[in-house]
Amino acid sequence: MTQKMRPSGQAFMKMHGLGNDFVVIDSRGRGSVTTPALARALGDRNRGVGFDQLAEILDATGADFTLDFWNSDGSRAGACGNATRCVSDYVMRGLGKDAVTLVTARGELQALRRADGLVSVNMGQPQTGWAEVPLASAVDTLHLPMAGDPVAVGMGNPHCIFFVPDAEAVDLSGVGPALEHDPLFPQRTNVEFASVIAPDRLRLRVWERGAGITLACGSGSCATAVAAHLRGLTGRRVLIDADGGTLEIDWREDGVWMTGPVAHVFDGVLTAEFLAAHP
Ligand SMILES: N[C@@H](CCC[C@H](N)C(=O)O)C(=O)O
């Protein structure tokens, strides 16, 4: 029997952090292969692989690796905390290390594996000035001039955080799209609805820019923890209960640390036909 040869394709990994899921492409040593069309096609859960974000690993100078993020609508994301934790775990295993440094659009970050096996990343200091988030005009980021009195925080990407009595009761798919495109956010925004459970615990549901409802959002959890502390609702260290599980957020002097589980689900290969169809 003749064996059918598989045309050469593109290797990828499927990973997730609390159900926030990613396709990861390791492009170290050869340069980026991702385009908006490829990200959109791959992100399609029926015709592609499906993901919330695509993360591409690239070479770095002066750090262990560079990480670029794409949303499932083909747009770029400046930060993705859960993918950063997943990919850092993969790189740490490859290098036989328990800590790495990486470069993202917002600069150099550190990640490490704790003794309990959970993976932490320092997402850096939050951006609380209106121009940094960015917002379209000079308003108070702690009390945005929008219905519901939300807070704006940047974590390398924009977040609009609403504190509500019951996050479960929010019609996320009903209100998410319009809020994502609110004119106060010229680059669109991620949208968070949080309820205070205790001074060290929040319930969080997220509508992500470029991806819609996700089971968890790392940068959104960091932004929400910062907003809650600045509003006087919580301390600097909180647990965030997302739909997919719980993240630990700790806003320290050197930045906002986020800790949680990671999972490497499977490895696959994109066919040459799929790649050729989405240049
Ligand atoms: N899931 C991510 C955040 C993804 C980025 C976002 N959709 C954007 O466009 O900014 C996380 O874990 O941080």
Q: What is the pLDDT of residues 202-230, one digit of tens each?
A: 999 999 999 999 999 999 999 999 999 99
Helix, strand, coil: what percent of the chain each, to 5?
Answer: 20, 40, 45
- Residue 6: pLDDT above 80? no
Q: Which residues pair with 221 in a beta bridge?
A: none
Q: How far apart are the C-alpha atoms of 106 and 108, rounded to whole Å?
A: 7
Predicted structure pTM score: 0.96
User: Domain coordinates of the chain in residue numbers?
Assistant: 10-122+262-277, 151-260
For the chain, first and last CA: distance in Å? Answer: 35
Selecting from 3.40.50.300, 1.10.760.10, 3.40.50.620, 3.10.310.10, what CATH number does the domain 151-260 have? 3.10.310.10
CATH architecture of 10-122+262-277: Roll (3.10)
- Any binding-site annotation on 71? yes
Is the ipTM of this structure higher than 0.95? yes
User: Rounded to the nearest whole angstrom, what is the distance from the C-alpha of residue 8 to the centroid of ligand 1?
Assistant: 31
Position 5 scores a pLDDT of 44
157 in ligand 1 pocket by Cβ < 6 Å?
Answer: yes
Best residue among 157, 189, 256, 258 to mutate for probing ligand 1, ranked by most atoms within 8 Å of CB: 157
Instruction: Please provide residue 188's backbone torsions phi and psi, each rounded to the nearest 5 degrees.
Output: 65, 180
CA–CA distance, 88 with 222 (Å, rounded to integer):
18
CA distances for 82 relative to 195, 238, 268, angstroms = 21, 17, 20
Eight-class DSSP state of 27: -
CA distance 128 to 241: 23
171, 181 in Cβ contact below 8 A?
Answer: no
Q: Measure 173 CA to ligand 1 centroid, in angstroms.
A: 17
76 CA: nearest ligand 1 atom = 9
- 30-44 mean pLDDT: 96
Q: Residue 217 catalytic? A: yes
Q: What integer pLDDT is reported at residue 8 of this predicted model?
A: 77
Residue with tokens 């997943």: 86
- 1 pLDDT above the threshold of 60: no
Closest Cα to atom 1, ligand 1: which residue?
217
Per-residue burial over 24-40, b if 16 or more Cβ lie within 10 Å, else e, is bbbbeeeeeebeeebbb
Over residues 111-125, mean pLDDT: 98
Q: Does the annotation flag 218 for ligand binding?
A: yes
Across 258-271, average pLDDT = 97
Atom of ligand 1 nearest to the CA of 84: 12
Helix 81-95, helix 218-230: angle, nearest 10: 120
Question: 82 among the known binding-site residues?
Answer: yes
Evaluate whether 10-122+262-277 and 151-260 have a shared fold. Answer: yes
